């Protein structure tokens, strides 16, 4: 019985650690993606460097999200539109992640990328935010 409890406890600890991983906020996501020297979300990082640093999010963005967010299709906030994305950011990271994963009005669940992990979606959002110069503490 104790062994069973031990296994159950370990399992729950692993699950909660995993969930915490995917609950990472925007600043936390940026920190993990970017080597400390390149954290500078004020727009002064050379574009090439950002592209390399945020390569994981960029790939998913280009393949799936840009279809709508590149041009602002159907009221989608446009890539690079700092004001629109800052407004969205103010809703809170959890809400945004929830909407991106499960869908919200014109926003399809996972932006139609069914095989994307939560982590990949999170990185894609972080990529959009950095490219749109959303300040981490706004």
Is residue 134 within the footprint of ligand HEC (CB under 6 A)? no
Q: Which residue's C-beta sits nearest to ligand HEC?
A: 111
User: Exactly one of 30, 33, 41, 64 binds ligand HEC (CB under 6 A); which one?
Assistant: 64
Question: With 0-12 CB in 10 A as exposed, 13-18 as middle and 19+ as buried, what is 75?
Answer: exposed
DSSP codes, 96-118: HHHHHHH-BTTB-GGGG-TT--H
- 49 vs 40: CA distance, rounded Å: 11
User: Exactly one of 24, 30, 33, 107 binds ligand HEC (CB under 6 A); which one?
Assistant: 107
Is residue 111 within the footprint of ligand HEC (CB under 6 A)? yes
Calculate the dihedral angle through the C-alpha atoms of 114, 119, 125, 126, rounding to the nearest 10 degrees. -160
- 89 vs 30: CA distance, rounded Å: 14
Is residue 90 within the footprint of ligand HEC (CB under 6 A)? no
Q: Applying CB under 6 A, which part among 13-21, 24-32, 45-53, 92-100 lies near ligand HEC?
A: 92-100
Is residue 9 within the footprint of ligand HEC (CB under 6 A)? no
Is residue 99 within the footprint of ligand HEC (CB under 6 A)? yes
């Amino acid at each position: 019985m104790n062994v069973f409890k031990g296994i159950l406890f370990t399992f729950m600890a692993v699950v909660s650690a995993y969930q915490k991983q995917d609950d990472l906020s925007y600043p936390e996501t940026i920190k993990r993606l970017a080597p400390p020297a390149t954290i500078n979300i004020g727009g002064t990082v050379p574009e090439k460097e950002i592209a390399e640093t945020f390569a994981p999010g960029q790939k998913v963005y280009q393949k799936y999200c840009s279809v709508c967010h590149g041009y602002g299709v159907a009221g989608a906030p446009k890539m690079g539109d700092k004001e629109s994305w800052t407004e969205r950011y103010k809703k809170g990271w959890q809400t945004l992640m929830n909407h991106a994963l499960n869908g919200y009005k014109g926003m399809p669940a996972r932006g139609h990328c069914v095989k994307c992990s939560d982590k990949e979606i999170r990185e894609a959002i972080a990529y959009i935010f950095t490219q749109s110069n959303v300040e981490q503490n706004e």
